[in-house]
Structure 1
Amino acid sequence: MKNILVTGGAGFIGTNLVTKLLAEGCKVTVLDNLSPQIHGEEPEKSVLYRSIAGKVAFIRGDVTDRADLRRALAGQDAVVHLAAETGTGQSMYRIDHYMKVNVGGTSLLLDILANEPHSVKRLVVASSRSIYGEGKYVSKELGAVYPEHRSAEDMSKGDFEVKYPGSSRLALTATDEESKLHPSSVYGITKQVQEQLVMTVCPAIKVAPVALRYQNVYGPGQSLSNPYTGILSIFSNLIMSGKPINVFEDGTESRDFVFIDDVARITAAAIMDDRASGYVFNVGTGVPTDVMTVANALNRKLNGNSPITVTGNFRIGDIRHNFASLERIERILGFKPRVSFDEGLDRFCAWVRTIGAVTSDYEGSLAEMKSKGLMK
């Protein structure tokens, strides 16, 4: 596995993975369209792109273009398919675009591998915790249950907890890879289809598949200007800009935040380690952290004084909680996260201070969702 193609390799996860692969002596090709939403209006000047420029065989192209994919696949031993649109909220109104890029790009990649000569032996696809929807809970009366999407009517009344028919209050538990897949956003649907396409087609064409269901990845280098990146980037940029932070729902919603170094390490292992072949793995820390904790920690570590307000607003398609069970990935690949959330946040905030405030259309993205009835 010396020749590796990384689609979306100029993005946040991609550049960190590429750096690790180069350090291990791999020859890396990157196919990336340098999307302005991620890289800005002058993408060739973006920090992410410049971190790999001149170190890889770079193809500025698109995974929805057959000629670009053919060119990128030539001579490759393995492919890491990271290229995708990633905004949960944005996916709820840019539906056709998300389907074309995420599902269309993956199906085109597999179509080429199924019908044309190639040397690819392994395909690693970036899946997502979003495919689990509201995740896994334990009911005192019913045992393990998988709640359906929360109703806008309940949330409008300030009731944000998940519910299940015939059960009293549910207890959150870690979501394992055998849990029900029922995404609550278009983005989640596209990631589920991507994963299923890869895990179904690859064994039939003698390419070893691996799917990595990433939790919320964060760390130095992630886009601070992209309003769809996630709360760590959004909140830190608001703090650096001296703006208030408005927390959705009641502030106790939680996520599993996994540091970029751990993600790059396990993704490289998924390429190289034969034990990974044919498996789907959660990639996270196994620890949930609530949004208010995140906001307060960022304010403290960035020496900010941004007022934090719990608004009760909510977005259609958001989930309440989710954190990963790591039993499978630890048992099969020996993976344990090395970076705690506190240490990772220190490293992230140190980097943010070197960047300072950047221009972001976060407020515009919220206004657009409100105009479409997707934010209440």
Structure 2
Amino acid sequence: MPRLTTRAVIGIGSFVGFLIVVWLANTSTDPSHPHKTNSKPSTSLRCHRWARSLKTGLTPYISNDKTVIITGAAGFIGSHITRYCVNRLRMTVIAVDDLSSGYEANIPVSSKVTFVRGDLKNATFVWSLFRGRKIDYVYHLAGYPSRRLSHFVRSYIYRNNLLASVNLINAAVKAGVKCFVFTSSVAVYGSSELVVSESSIPHPQDSYGIAKLSTELELRATKRVHDLEYVILRLHNVFGPNQNVVDPYRNVISIFMGQIMRDTPITVLGDGTQKMSFTYIDDIVSLVARCPLYPAARSHTFNLGSDNVIDINHVVEVVKSVMKRPNHPVKHVPAQNEGKLAGIDHSKANCFFKQTPRMEFEVGVSSMADWFRAVGAERLKRSRLAALKVETKKNIVSLWLNEDVSEVDEVDHLARLVA
């Protein structure tokens, strides 16, 4: 596939800016935004807001005759969704991944699973996934997830997280797909001192969040023009087995476990008092896999995750405990200016799906540690990442400058695994 020219990358950036403007103009009329709010709603109002939508379909469609495409199927969340769709929903799955940071071993072995390796940035490859098949749903989970690193690899993020998504949306329209499920992120909200809900106006503060929001806007525009149904799920801080334990630029819990395994200090940005909510993978898998089966959920956006808020210092202590290294050293490094949220309202997902995360944080981390010792540690031992390449090093996190970092005009792949 030919490289994008500088003019093409600038064009993508302009397109992203245009989509943000469209978002602000249409927020009040989108079905996912019944009204604007900056605070958590009272219990009596929560489900009443969506009463009309909920009446449209509470009984789910059947799933065992469906053929679906799942992108990022060899990665963390994608592998769990693939397993659930095959084993629990009896779907036929076309599992797609480029194996740049996932593992084929994560994909379940089944006569109902066909693994296809390829690059979603290549529109010809994307269309080949649909050709000759009747695809009912697309679950789009592929993409590079590092918010902090995205400031320094903007072109890479837009090509992998936006251009690839547009290729997939185009193909879904041409193939007559019934529903497109997109895993977005609470990164679209940016920073807020108030609790954010799906009707809060997004202000993404990093290229990762901008790319996610742009894909959301593309899906809404495609619904209006081509009637492609969608469900958007804004996830945050999901953790558990099958996470990438090699990449040091994402997934804080796996980073901490990896640092313990390598016998290097756990690195904490800032003083560690920043608070985050963490969601164990098993608590969201069913909802993500089943959401296109519910007519009421179509053309809606949902925040998805745990309400429990935990500070990073506590995360460190839990990880050290479950890894049986209570005295492992911790190193604090200067914090990066990043978005912080006071809280996230999940009441809409609770109303539609009657399901809330239940796994206690400590139990989930312990379960992940069991997997890490059985599988993750061996992957960490056998693999490493190639030297980090960025498009600009200006103001990059000092912690990353300790690595072998080079500045290039265009990043081919910053997270490729090396055996």
Q: Distance in 1 between matches of 2:393 and 2:127?
A: 40
2:191 to 131, 134, 137: 134
Match of 1:170 in 2: none
Q: Distance in 2 between matches of 1:306 and 1:369?
A: 34
Q: Measured at CA, do residues 364 and 293 of structure 1 come closer, stay the same or move farther in structure 2, by a change above 3 Å? A: farther
2:99 to 16, 19, 34: 34
Q: Distance in 2 between matches of 1:70 and 1:56?
A: 19
**Aligned-partner residue type, residue 184 of structure 2:** S
The SS at the match of 1:229 is coil
Q: Distance in 2 between matches of 1:93 and 1:53?
A: 40
Q: Does 1:17 align with 2:44?
A: no
Q: Distance in 2 between matches of 1:323 and 1:307?
A: 30
Q: Is the CA contact 1:215–1:323 (under 8 Å) kept in the aligned structure 2?
A: no
2:275 to 244, 254, 274: 254
Q: Does 1:181 align with 2:202?
A: yes
Q: Is the CA contact 2:303–2:349 (under 8 Å) kept in the aligned structure 1?
A: yes
Deviation per CA, 1:80-103: give whole Å up to 9, x if none.
111112111221121111111211
Match of 2:364 in 1: 344
Q: Is the CA contact 2:91–2:112 (under 8 Å) kept in the aligned structure 1?
A: no
Deviation per CA, 1:195-220: give whole Å up to 9, x if none.
11112212432221110000111001
1:372 to 354, 377, 394: 394
TM-score normalised to the size of structure 2?
Answer: 0.73
Q: Is the CA contact 2:153–2:392 (under 8 Å) kept in the aligned structure 1?
A: no
Q: Is the CA contact 1:284–1:323 (under 8 Å) kept in the aligned structure 2?
A: no
Match of 1:96 in 2: 155
Q: Measured at CA, do residues 286 and 57 of structure 1 come closer, stay the same or move farther in structure 2, by a change above 3 Å? A: same
> Can you give the 5+ residue segments of structure 2 that lack an aligned partner in the other structure?
1-62, 399-419
Q: Distance in 1 between matches of 2:391 and 2:275?
A: 22
Match of 1:290 in 2: 311
Q: Measured at CA, do residues 122 and 203 of structure 1 come closer, stay the same or move farther in structure 2, by a change above 3 Å? A: farther
Q: Distance in 2 between matches of 1:347 and 1:106?
A: 32
**Aligned-partner residue type, residue 308 of structure 1:** V
Q: Measured at CA, do residues 266 and 273 of structure 1 come closer, stay the same or move farther in structure 2, by a change above 3 Å? A: same
Q: Distance in 2 between matches of 1:370 and 1:252?
A: 29
The runs of at least 4 consecutive aligned structure 1 residues that moved more than 4 Å come to 52-55, 359-365, 367-371
Q: Measured at CA, do residues 363 and 123 of structure 1 come closer, stay the same or move farther in structure 2, by a change above 3 Å? A: closer
Q: Is the CA contact 1:234–1:362 (under 8 Å) kept in the aligned structure 2?
A: no
Match of 1:320 in 2: 340
Q: Is the CA contact 2:280–2:361 (under 8 Å) kept in the aligned structure 1?
A: yes
Q: Distance in 2 between matches of 1:328 and 1:350?
A: 33
RMSD (Å) for aligned C-alpha atoms: 2.4
Match of 2:407 in 1: none
Q: Measured at CA, do residues 276 and 298 of structure 1 come closer, stay the same or move farther in structure 2, by a change above 3 Å? A: same
Q: Does 1:82 align with 2:82?
A: no
**Aligned-partner residue type, residue 350 of structure 2:** E
Q: Distance in 1 between matches of 2:392 and 2:162?
A: 27
Q: Distance in 2 between matches of 1:25 and 1:12?
A: 21
**Aligned-partner residue type, residue 313 of structure 2:** M
Sequence identity (%): 26
Q: Distance in 2 between matches of 1:132 and 1:52?
A: 38
**Aligned-partner residue type, residue 276 of structure 1:** A
The SS at the match of 2:183 is strand
> Can you give the 5+ residue segments of structure 1 that lack an aligned partner in the other structure?
138-173
Q: Measured at CA, do residues 262 and 187 of structure 1 come closer, stay the same or move farther in structure 2, by a change above 3 Å? A: same
Equivalenced residue count is 327
Match of 1:300 in 2: 321
TM-score normalised to the size of structure 1?
Answer: 0.81
Q: Is the CA contact 2:75–2:242 (under 8 Å) kept in the aligned structure 1?
A: no
The SS at the match of 2:397 is coil
The SS at the match of 1:67 is helix
**Aligned-partner residue type, residue 95 of structure 2:** V
2:254 to 233, 242, 259: 233
Q: Is the CA contact 1:199–1:210 (under 8 Å) kept in the aligned structure 2?
A: no
The SS at the match of 2:192 is coil
The SS at the match of 1:373 is coil
Match of 1:278 in 2: 299
The alpha carbon displacement at 1:309 in A equals: 3.1
